Amino acid sequence: MKVFPGFGGWINQNIQKSPKAESKRSVNADTNSESEKDRNNQEQNYDQEDMKKQLELWSAGEKTHPWYDAPPKVKVTTKKGLCHMNIEMTLGWIPDGVFELFTNPNDGPLFFDMNKHGRQLLEYKSRKVLKKDGPRQIVKVKQALAWDFLWWSGSIPIELIVDENKKDFTAKYKKQKMMFMKVFQGSYKVEPLYADSVRLCKHMDPKSLQEYKTCSGGQGRIASKVTMDQYFQPYPPFNMPPFSWFIRNITINTTKTLLKMLQHGSVVLRE
């Protein structure tokens, strides 16, 4: 049984496209444009063969050199009632796929948590594209976040406006409707991580995809580094103790749990 059937379809679609329709696909763009570079001038170009090769390398690599994702690093600061979470994490999966997991994880029980009475911790209700301009699009997302307190349980409806850009794998989001929260917004970006550079590239530190392919003999796996900034602030009177302490802890711990579930999702995909 496929755990992420829709995402599996995305994989097949990307590695089985006709070369006549798309001779070379850039991971940074939706169109057949020339090679793009990210902000650090690191090329991130993947054609169909590259995508297929990465799938094979990750599947085989789990048996010989298994990848381990450390728990997300989370730094929390609060200033004038506004809480800021700075997050860094890695996922053993290609940036294109990781960006898809973050922006469109509605194709399977990715956030299924047995501790939540067998429910989805975060359930995606709908996703509507409001505006599209090449690799950039504005999307309205409706979600439901499960909660439990003592013997009560339920779900909190959430509506977000998300500005996604596949050119550089970045996104910004802001709440449109969210119970208890006056402010809930943030951003994230996905960058390539050359997973086997130490093992295969000897003393060379590859600075681009092409350098990595050359020094690894085309056998190097490409993982992802994700950096996030999230801000939130409850409405009065929930911005005052003890309510603010409770909401702050719940928001931080829930975010950490969801990120760990995404890491687990990447493990399932590559296995």
In tens, the pLDDT along 102-115 reads: 888 654 555 655 45
**What does the DSSP 8-state code read for residue 256?**
H
CATH number of 5-270, picked from 3.40.605.10, 3.90.1150.10, 3.30.530.20, 3.40.640.10: 3.30.530.20
Residue 221 confidence (pLDDT)? 96
Whether residue 12 is predicted with pLDDT greater than 70 in this model: the reply is no
Q: Which of 41-55, 88-102, 107-121, 208-222 bottoms out in mean pLDDT, i.e. has the lowest?
A: 107-121
Q: Which of 16-25, 145-154, 212-221 bottoms out in mean pLDDT, i.e. has the lowest?
A: 16-25
Residue 26 confidence (pLDDT)? 32
Alpha carbons within 13 angstroms on the beta-carbon side of residue 271 total 12
**Domain-wise residue ranges, the chain:** 5-270
List the structure tokens of 212.
């990595």
Residue 154 burial by Cβ neighbours in a 10 Å radius (0-12, 13-18, 19+)? exposed
Question: Which single residue is written with the structure tokens 């796929």?
Answer: 97
Contact 120, 145 (CB under 8 A): no
Residue type, 247: I
50 vs 4: CA distance, rounded Å = 22
List the structure tokens of 165.
């850009």
